[in-house]
């Protein structure tokens, strides 16, 4: 498709449990071709009131793509190509920190990347200029602040800050892995926060994460010996999806 000349206010990358953006009107679907292959699905562009937003389901609209197989480069490139300049990554996470239990929403401010064998940069074509990026602050401060303000306006008490530990998945972690991550300083654990955030920075996109706590991470919470319930994860994410759309709605009217 050709680059749209109508302004896109915001792009949202939906994670597990968020495969469509509720309330979008005048929808167009764009199958974007990228130099890095196919994005996870069509980019859906639609309106909320007078504002246009783009939505992309990170794992595909039928959740067929596991986190280690997501084509993060194609996804981020496609959103940039259609004209998005601000991107919210919605991430399902497990909670490690004592105040980050199920159904909490957090806007993390740091990342530790434990993933492996993912394509992590646009700078890997032989003979082309290598671009290094500053990633000391992996999320865009202004967009984080806007998200927190929007959550407040929507009556949702999102937590400001926290370190997101990105794991390879698709399996959940062992208790020992989470204990190590806690010692490292991680507060949340998820599988899809990286390399998405770094790729967004490489393209100079503003980027922040809305992290939805679906469960206590392995060995955390009041019943550390209990196995993690997958149905409970999906139920919590289902509830959180409605809150995400309220936060994004408030963000658009800031
Ligand atoms: N670990 C990693 N990713 C997750 C988790 C978890 O416990 N819950 C939801 N996404």
For atom 9 of ligand 1, which residue has the closest CA? 93
Cβ-in-10-Å burial (0-12, 13-18, 19+) of 158 comes to: buried
The whole-angstrom separation of Cα 41 and Cα 95 is: 28
Total structural domains in the chain?
1
pLDDT in tens, 146-167: 999 999 999 999 999 999 999 9
Which of 67, 91, 92 best tests ligand 1's pocket when mutated (most atoms within 8 Å of CB)? Answer: 92
Instruction: Give Cα 216 to chain centroid, integer Å.
Output: 19
**Full-model pTM:** 0.95
| Token pair belonging to 244 | 């995400």
- CA–centroid distance, 106 to ligand 1, in Å, is 14
The pLDDT of residue 5 = 53
pLDDT in tens, 40-86: 999 999 999 999 999 999 999 999 999 999 999 999 999 999 999 99
Residues in the chain, pLDDT under 70: 1-5
Which of 89, 173, 210, 231 best tests ligand 1's pocket when mutated (most atoms within 8 Å of CB)? Answer: 173
- CA–centroid distance, 49 to ligand 1, in Å, is 34
Domain interval for residue 190: 3-252
Which CATH number covers residue 133?
3.40.50.1580
The whole-angstrom separation of Cα 16 and Cα 35 is: 26
The pLDDT of residue 122 = 94
The pLDDT of residue 2 = 43
For atom 3 of ligand 1, which residue has the closest CA? 190
SS3 54: strand
């Amino acid at each position: 498709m050709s680059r749209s000349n109508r302004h896109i206010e915001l792009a949202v990358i939906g994670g597990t449990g968020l495969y469509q953006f509720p309330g979008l009107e005048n929808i167009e679907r764009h199958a974007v071709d990228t130099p890095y292959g196919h994005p996870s699905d069509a980019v859906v562009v639609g309106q909320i009131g007078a504002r246009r937003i783009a939505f992309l389901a990170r794992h595909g609209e039928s959740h067929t793509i596991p986190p280690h197989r997501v084509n993060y480069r194609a996804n981020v490139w496609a959103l940039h190509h259609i004209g998005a300049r601000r991107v919210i990554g919605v991430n399902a996470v497990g909670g490690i920190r004592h105040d980050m239990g199920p159904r909490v929403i957090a806007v993390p401010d740091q990342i530790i990347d434990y993933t492996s064998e993912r394509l992590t940069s646009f700078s890997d074509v032989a003979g082309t200029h290598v671009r290094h990026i500053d990633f000391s602050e992996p999320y865009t401060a202004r967009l984080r602040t806007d998200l927190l303000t929007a959550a407040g306006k929507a009556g949702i008490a999102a937590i400001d800050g926290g370190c997101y530990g990105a794991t390879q998945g698709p399996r959940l972690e062992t208790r020992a892995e989470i204990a190590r991550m806690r010692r490292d300083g991680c507060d949340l654990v998820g599988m899809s926060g990286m390399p998405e955030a770094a790729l967004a920075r490489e393209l100079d996109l503003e980027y922040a994460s809305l992290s939805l706590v679906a469960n206590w991470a392995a060995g955390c919470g009041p019943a550390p010996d209990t196995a993690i319930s997958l149905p409970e994860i999906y139920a919590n994410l289902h509830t959180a999806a409605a809150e995400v759309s309220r936060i994004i709605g408030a963000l658009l009217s800031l």
